[in-house]
Amino acid sequence: MMGTVLFLIALICEVGFVIYCMVTKQNHKKVKNWMRVAVFAAFVILTLLSVIVWSFRWFLPAILLFVMAAKGAVSLIRNKTTIIKYKTTSIVWKSIITILALVFAFAPSIVFPQHKSPKVTGEYEVATATYTYIDKNRIEEFTDKGDKRFVNVEFWYPQKADGTFPLLVFSHGATGIKSSNTSTYTELASHGYVVVSIDHPYHSFYTVSEDGTRAVINSDYNLEISNLNKEESIYTNEELYGLIQKWMKLRTDDMNFVIDTILEKAKTDKKPVYHHINTEKIGVFGHSMGGAASVWLGRERNDISAVVNIDAPFFSDLVYKKEIKDFVASSEPYVTPLFNIYSDDVWGQLESNSLYAANKTNNESFKEAYTTHFHGAKHLSFTDLSLFSPILATIMQGGKADIDNYYALETENDLILKFFDKELKGIGKFSPKEAY
């Protein structure tokens, strides 16, 4: 919002100045120079007063406004008396160039608006740590170099705290990144949890290892996801079932490797984060494809005591029936405590889309699961992208959410906290409403 406001102010000043010059038939160079010096001074004052919170989004506007102000100041100091003949075309073209420069400079602050973080309510200060784990038992399938599979992780955990805390493992969405739900991790860590979020290399939009190695989303995988999300899928259900198995194997292999690595490090590693982990209390959660992988792991591992599924199909419980060329739900009971959070995007498909055959609320295999639905929420309402870049979130999820973004995230975080408190700490009650 702040970027849009400042851009509009700069735009109005520029357009107003051009109109003033055209009406008076004069260049008013001195007025323009003073105006640009004043605009930069206002930008600096707003930054010093923390109205503008300095970040990457303000880098380009600062450079542009400084250059314009510096040029104006030099001109004022020289105080040339040479009268330049007024030309409307010259004034207009210079203004167009300035406006284009303003659009370019303020684009980051508009696409990624300055925003306040969702509230953090716990008693603990939160520390973070980032590591790269190398899986010596897997070859990286997305490259032809024969490298071992690497997985980047980031921890959020209670700082300056005594004792151990439950471990929570998060998996991001189909093309997400490990920081997609930072507000959730921070809230949970502030209440006494060690949260680790995984970047799944080549499934994540991008990831950077400890040694600086970068990996961006694999183009073939990205195309598969894009094709899946089209209104008319180009895949048969049998082909789609094969893709699901491939995606889930990579995701669950990563999650299993990370959990096993952490459990081993908790025994021997001297780093503070590992000392805080209660290895007997483990929960997993994730958004979209990460939620599907979490449900899968909850069925696969005996040491997982709680699962949160955020807006995802139960891929682990889909069976492809060749005779009907469609998916049906497995009949095997799901015994790990499970909490489902759905947006309108997914809620509307539970009965109509066979990919969600196992998610149906009347599925006896999941009769003990908790389920809630957020009215007005879209798929990305449950990630920090809804605040970090509302424009991108709207484009990616195919429309603007009707729910307040802060309400959605803060309510989601509170519900997840209460669920894990009940299942992993044995404290409090958990009785979510059917809808929010």
3-state secondary structure of 42: helix
pLDDT at 366 over 60: yes
Query: What is the pLDDT, as a whole number, of residue 21?
Result: 86
Task: Enter the pTM of the model.
Answer: 0.90
**Burial degree of 79 (CB within 10 A; 0-12, 13-18, 19+):** exposed
DSSP 435: B
pLDDT bucket at 332, cuts 50 / 70 / 90: very high
Please tell me the distance from the alpha carbon of residue 165 to that of residue 157, in angstroms, as a whole number: 9
φ, ψ dihedrals at 185, nearest 5°: -60, -45
Mean pLDDT of 233-258: 95
Closest CA to 265 of 107, 155, 422, 393: 155
Query: What is the pLDDT, as a whole number, of residue 177?
Result: 96
Taking the mean position of all CA atoms in its chain, how far away is CA 342? 17
Query: What is the pLDDT, as a whole number, of residue 274?
Result: 96
Residues of 157-186 as b/e, b for ≥16 C-beta within 10 angstroms?
bbeebeebbbbbbbbbbbbbbbbbbbbbbb
**Burial degree of 130 (CB within 10 A; 0-12, 13-18, 19+):** middle
pLDDT at 81 over 70: no
The Cα-based distances of 51 to 42, 45, 54 in angstroms read 11, 9, 9
The answer to whether 193 touches 124, Cβ cutoff 8 Å, is no
Model pLDDT for residues 390-405, shown as the tens digit of each residue = 999 999 999 999 999 9
Please tell me the distance from the alpha carbon of residue 220 to that of residue 227, in angstroms, as a whole number: 11
Q: Which CATH code for domain 126-425?
A: 3.40.50.1820
pLDDT at 89 over 90: no
Query: What is the pLDDT, as a whole number, of residue 82?
Result: 58
3-state secondary structure of 103: helix
Please tell me the distance from the alpha carbon of residue 36 to that of residue 71, in angstroms, as a whole number: 9
DSSP 422: I
Instruction: Give, in degrees to the nearest 5, the angle at Cα 219 between 215 and 222.
Output: 100
Q: Which two tokens stand for residue 229?
A: 């999300």
Q: Which two tokens stand for residue 187?
A: 């809230």
Query: What is the pLDDT, as a whole number, of residue 375?
Result: 97
pLDDT at 291 over 80: yes
pLDDT bucket at 225, cuts 50 / 70 / 90: very high
Mean pLDDT of 304-317: 97
**Domain boundary assignment for the chain:** 2-111, 126-425
DSSP 118: P
Q: Which is more confidently placed, 409 or 10?
A: 409
Model pLDDT for residues 175-191, shown as the tens digit of each residue = 999 999 999 999 999 99
pLDDT bucket at 340, cuts 50 / 70 / 90: very high
pLDDT at 95 over 90: no
Query: What is the pLDDT, as a whole number, of residue 220?
Result: 95
φ, ψ dihedrals at 201, nearest 5°: -55, 135
pLDDT at 265 over 70: yes
Model pLDDT for residues 120-179, shown as the tens digit of each residue = 999 999 999 999 999 999 999 999 888 899 999 999 999 989 999 999 999 999 999 999
Please tell me the distance from the alpha carbon of residue 201 to that of residue 222, in angstroms, as a whole number: 12
> 218: which residues sit within 8 A by CB, 6+ positions away?
142, 202, 203
If residue 227 lies in a helix (H) or strand (E), which one and from where to where? Answer: helix 219-228
Q: Which of 12-21, 94-103, 201-210 has the lowest average pLDDT? A: 12-21
Closest CA to 420 of 252, 131, 170, 160: 170
